[in-house]
Amino acid sequence: MSQSPDQTSQQVRSSFLDYFKTQGHQLVPSSSLVPQDDPTLLFANAGMNQFKNIFLGLQKPSYTRAVSSQKCLRAGGKHNDLENVGFTARHHTFFEMLGNFSFGDYFKKDAIHLAWQYVTQELQLDKNRLYVSVFTDDHEAAEIWHKQEGVAQDRIYRFGEKDNFWRMGETGPCGPCSEIFYDLGPEVEGSPQDNVMGGPGDRYMEIWNLVFMQYFEDGQGSGLKPLPRPSIDTGMGLERISAVVQNEINNYHTDLFQGLIQRAAEGCGLEYVKSIAQMKGASSKERELQHSRNVAFRVLADHGRAAAFLIGDGVLPSNEGRGYVLRRIIRRAVRYGRNLSESDSLLPLVVGEVIAQMGSVYPELEAQGPRILQTVQEEEARFLTTLDQGTAILNGEIDKILGRGHRTLGGQVAFKLYDTYGFPVDLTRLMLKERGLELDETGFEEQMNEAKNKAKASWKGKALSQDAGHLIQLSQQLQAQHGPTTFVGYEKTYLTEVKCLALSDGQSLQAELRQGQSGVMAFAQTPFYAEGGGQVGDSGLIKGPSGQAEVLDCRKENEIYWHWVQVTEGGLKSSEAFVLQVNESERRQTANNHSATHLLHSALREVLGTQVSQAGSLVEPERLRFDFTHNRALTEEELERIEQLVNREIAAARPVSHQVMSPDQAKKEGALALFGEKYGDQVRVIGMGDFSKELCGGTHVPNTSWIRLFKIVSEGGVSSGVRRIEALTGEAAHRYLSHLAEENLKVRKLSGVQENWQAILSRKTEPLLSWAELILQDRRSLERQVQQLKGASVDVESLLKNTQEFDCAGAKANRILAEVELDDRKLLSDLADQLRARLTRGVAIVVGSAESEGKARPLVVAVTKNLSQDLKAGEVIAQLGGKGGGRPDFAQGSVESLKRL
């Protein structure tokens, strides 16, 4: 029996989902790549991630069988395939995991039968090319494969814990697993010793993993305990199974990647060759060149997919966390794209093809399409500047170490490239590898750790030493025993006689915390809001018979609310009942800011367009911060209009409504939902008249008039395609405006400008601003005169005496380095031109003085035309330790610490 060669990856995905739906499975959409309520994961990396709480018994769904096609990413942390992508047939950053799941419903017999029936009947795979593996001691699974499904004994392999036993973590559900393998055939390259079942070769490819969750491990060394209701978790990579049904031995040769590769090939005018071995008449050098091109094509295709899906799920390039992983992926793709074309922009072409190819399956790609493309284009443009500058510096350092006969680049150099110039260390490694060199990894890590230690700041100045694993495990136990914490804070800010469920110092359970000690407490119910949805946790007091504590924060782990406390009097005992009291003043100010955030969101969409979406927020008692997607700075007129709209709704005294409904009903009623957010069966919808309606679990004012006043205090860029507004409300906004008014009056007295209030409100004239501009013009004029006098005093002849001779491209050249007490760039440029004019073949370097202490010094480099082909002005700036750019014969920049050439 042979499989059909005509199935597309889309047909495979659909057939898998449809098959399990006919077997009574609930189709569950893929969750976001950004895990919700799981601090242990950087990205979703398996199909079971979104069902974790179901497997742990913390959540009871309405179904006992599920099927999904889950978006996954492995490019950071423990699961990191990034460096291998492009060089192998099967490594990917982004991939889709097809999976079927049973939550205490069917177990081994049905799981094995369903899997075997799908691959042999639905996909019609040749049974003679299929093998299975089981855990060494799992005789039950081996017997099911042989007796129930008819798999020959010699096709059933037994492997140990490393390959065939699965654990969720140090504690929790676990069990043996069974894998289905496919023999790709003898044409697969590699050693015969490696290309065997269970070997490291590529011939026998695992296509499906069936995990039998039948035990619980408590982490206390007491062994494996049988679960009362065993479960099933399976995973089959769409990329691998597509390769099988399309008769390919390389995932990149399937329709999932070939359309993307061809788009890149069209963009650069080069060709992707599936089989280099079959390049007739090609020399070894030509084959090597084609191999490097193939690697670049595969990197672009894979990374284009990862970038599109990450940005579509709300991740944006940054220098930390998930944003840094995205930045690395984009920059690695751009770097390899440069191997195909120095001038053509290839990654945006590939990303556009990803959106076109997969938008019908994942509608978030189409919905976020313009934003995804713009983010990639802007990040690419930003990196190309970094790439050229960093490459020049790194090449200079490589020449130095080769000149000294060394083979290792110092960690300090790599760290400076990363920290000062934003040059990714993985690109440094790659460029070193291309030259047969290595990086001092230990030295680099030491520099990184030193920088991290300097940057660390304690949490609210009152850091609590905590074991995250302890709280996660304790939360799971509490939720299993008592259920989730009941939040009553929408109606109450004060509770009495509340029994403590757990008292911990952050490391282990405690019977008592004494005065001066810090810890965390959990209760069956609480009025304290736990940090979430951008809103900070409540603060307040906890009082008991033996003492009291200040509540510094409230945070949620799973569905358990943890109160972070500092004991201020006596002691708190876990056996006591307590009074829980929220700081009402801070709660009300936070509510002001949260409700104002909703009004701001609606105002932004009205002024800038409905394409604006929330990209993050911070709501605390003192202020609000709102991040939103937009590709440019806002004008003064736009900011004024936004402010007016928000204050109009505040003055209109709109009642704030709170309704609970299904997510689908909320969307039908026009409520805004955060993209990528995971919502339950019921959601809370906050409405403010006809102006604003959003899904939100935060605390709000009962009427918009409670906000009193809204004032934007700043607007700026956060990252590519994301802007940030900070604003004040209520009393804070009033104090801010009063201070500005008082300062304004004092300046008016100094200036002699007098206006009545009618003129000020009409804004017909701005005499105070005109007066200030006139003062600044006079000052700038005087500063220019001073600079000109300084410039006139520079002795060019004296500077020419510092001329030095050096070799460049096998010929003599001259170099002048002039350090002068000037900060005017025009005068510095004129001086550089004068010095260059006196050189036959050479470079003039002029370094000015900093405008103020701590600032970088201006730097100008001018190169004679006959030298600029061999020595570019921008490269000289980089060699001097500066930043900047320009033409090959003339460049400007700045330098903090000048390097001597």
**Taking residues 356-361, what's their average pLDDT?**
94
Q: How confident is the model at residue 790 (pLDDT cuts 50, 70, 90)?
A: confident
pLDDT digits (tens, 9 = 90+) for 839-856: 999 999 999 988 766 788
Pairing of strands 438-439, 408-409: parallel
Q: Which residues contact 892 (CB under 8 A, 6 or more apart)?
A: 825, 829, 858, 859, 860, 861, 884, 885, 886
Q: How confident is the model at residue 678 (pLDDT cuts 50, 70, 90)?
A: low
The alpha carbon dihedral of 10, 11, 13, 18 has a sign of positive
Residue 522: closest CA among 487, 491, 493, 569? 487
pLDDT for the residue numbered 457: 35
pLDDT digits (tens, 9 = 90+) for 480-517: 889 999 999 999 999 999 999 999 998 889 999 999 99
Q: Residues 856, 894: contact at Cβ < 8 Å?
A: yes
Whether the per-residue pLDDT at 462 is higher than 70: the answer is no
pLDDT for the residue numbered 78: 54
**Alpha helices, H only, 705-766:** 730-751, 757-762
Q: How confident is the model at residue 583 (pLDDT cuts 50, 70, 90)?
A: very high
Q: State the Cα–Cα distance between residues 790 and 409, nearest whole angstrom.
A: 43
The residue length of the chain stands at 901
Whether the per-residue pLDDT at 631 is higher than 90: the answer is no
How distant, in Å, are the alpha carbons of 524, 784, 851 from that of 781?
A: 70, 5, 16
**Alpha helices, H only, 793-882:** 796-800, 825-837, 873-879
Q: State the Cα–Cα distance between residues 257 and 224, nearest whole angstrom.
A: 43
pLDDT for the residue numbered 455: 44
Q: How confident is the model at residue 459 (pLDDT cuts 50, 70, 90)?
A: very low
Tokens 């654990």: give the residue.
167
Report the predicted TM-score, pTM, of the whole model to 2 decimal places.
0.70
pLDDT for the residue numbered 778: 85
Paired with 660 in beta bridges are: 684
Pairing of strands 624-629, 722-729: antiparallel
Find the angle CA(423)-CA(426)-CA(432) to the nearest 5 degrees. Answer: 95
Whether the per-residue pLDDT at 132 is higher than 80: the answer is yes
Measured between its terminal Cα atoms, the distance across the chain in Å is 72
Higher pLDDT, 386 or 237: 237
Q: How many beta carbons lie within 10 A of that of residue 263, not counting itself?
A: 21
Burial label, 136 (beta-carbon count in 10 A; 0-12, 13-18, 19+)? middle
Q: Which residues contact 321 (CB under 8 A, 6 or more apart)?
A: 42
**Taking residues 728-752, what's their average pLDDT?**
89
Q: Residues 311, 300: contact at Cβ < 8 Å?
A: no
Q: Residues 712, 726: contact at Cβ < 8 Å?
A: yes
Q: How confident is the model at residue 453 (pLDDT cuts 50, 70, 90)?
A: low
pLDDT for the residue numbered 2: 42
Q: State the Cα–Cα distance between residues 116 and 274, nearest whole angstrom.
A: 31
Q: Residues 732, 589: contact at Cβ < 8 Å?
A: yes
Q: What is the mean pLDDT of the chain?
A: 89
Residue 857: closest CA among 815, 899, 797, 889? 899
Q: Residues 817, 803: contact at Cβ < 8 Å?
A: no
Q: Residues 411, 440: contact at Cβ < 8 Å?
A: yes
The token pair that represents 94 in the structure block: 């982004």
Q: How confident is the model at residue 86 (pLDDT cuts 50, 70, 90)?
A: confident
pLDDT digits (tens, 9 = 90+) for 530-558: 998 899 999 999 999 999 999 999 999 88
Q: Residues 715, 579: contact at Cβ < 8 Å?
A: no
pLDDT for the residue numbered 765: 59
Q: Residues 707, 598: contact at Cβ < 8 Å?
A: no
Higher pLDDT, 689 or 41: 689
